[in-house]
Amino acid sequence: MSGDTLFVTGTGTDVGKTVVTAALAATARGSVAVLKPAQTGSGEDGDLVEVERMTGGGITTLELARHRDPLAPAVAARREAVPPVTPARIVSAAEELAAAHDLVLVEGAGGLLVPYDDSGGTLPDAAVPLGAPVLVVCPAGLGALNTAALTVRELRHRKLDCPGLVVGSWPTAPDLAARCNVVDLPSVTGVPLLGALPEGAGRLRDEEFRTVARAGLAPSLGGEWDAAALGAPS
């Protein structure tokens, strides 16, 4: 058996990759593993603890390295004088998990081109040999058009498949930019908008989280989301 592998990247850090990863895990059919190749910032519990809390457990989680400083993995590893997590190491860990699970989700650190090692290794260098698609998480508001377009352009440049975008945190009171972005993100990036998780979703857990995850992810990602739910800009 070898399950599917999906990478989850973002337009940057703090855009909601962890919440989206947890939502994908919560709505997936079959066994799920979540791989966080490198977790930086040891003051926090770490993304996998967050994923376990939101999903209520029942999934496999694997963190390959934990670094003290809340920085890019390569920089944090260098400052500790420990070996970094290389793309090759990410590939072998993802392959091992895929041999035993129906779905492997790989959550990167920060945005797409964040360095993992000092030889220029990045998340795409692991996704390419695996032939894995890369989902892009973006913010809702002003600035998302540019950073989402740049991220998708880089994925195309590397011949990686991008199924689409998911907004990590859709505001309770969306402003004009957020409402317009729903319309313009697909045309500006050339990939569909495949969901939007409501602000506050990250504080939910178990069945409550699963219900919100289903409502916030498109059918192609295992949910029931309909872009029309966000409302058209006037």
Ligand X SMILES: C[C@H](N)[C@H](N)CCCCCC(=O)O
Asked if 159 is an active-site residue, the reply is no
Cβ atoms of 168 and 137 within 8 Å: the answer is: yes
Q: Is 143 in the site for ligand X (CB under 6 A)?
A: no
Nearest to 73 by CA among 123, 147, 34, 12: 123
Q: Match 């004009």 to its residue by tokens.
A: 176
Which of Mg ion, ligand X, ligand ATP, none interacts with 72 (beta carbon under 5 to 8 A by kind)?
ligand X
| Residue 40 touches ligand X, criterion: CB under 6 A | yes
State yes or no: residue 17 binds Mg ion (CB under 5 A): yes
Q: How many Å apart are CA 93 and CA 52, to the nearest integer?
A: 19
Asked if residue 18 binds Mg ion (CB under 5 A), the reply is yes
Of Mg ion, ligand X, ligand ATP, none, which one does residue 114 interact with (CB within 5 to 8 Å by kind)? ligand X
Show contacts with ligand ATP in window 167-186 (CB under 6 A): 168-169
The one-letter code for the residue type at 102 is D
The number of residues that bind ligand ATP (CB under 6 A) is: 19
Please identify, among the stretches 54-62, 81-89, 139-147, 196-204, the one whose residues bind ligand ATP according to the rule CB under 6 A: 196-204
Contact 70, 41 (CB under 8 A): yes
Taking the C-alpha atoms of residue 49 and residue 6, their distance in angstroms, rounded to an integer, is 19
> Which amino acids are annotated catalytic?
36
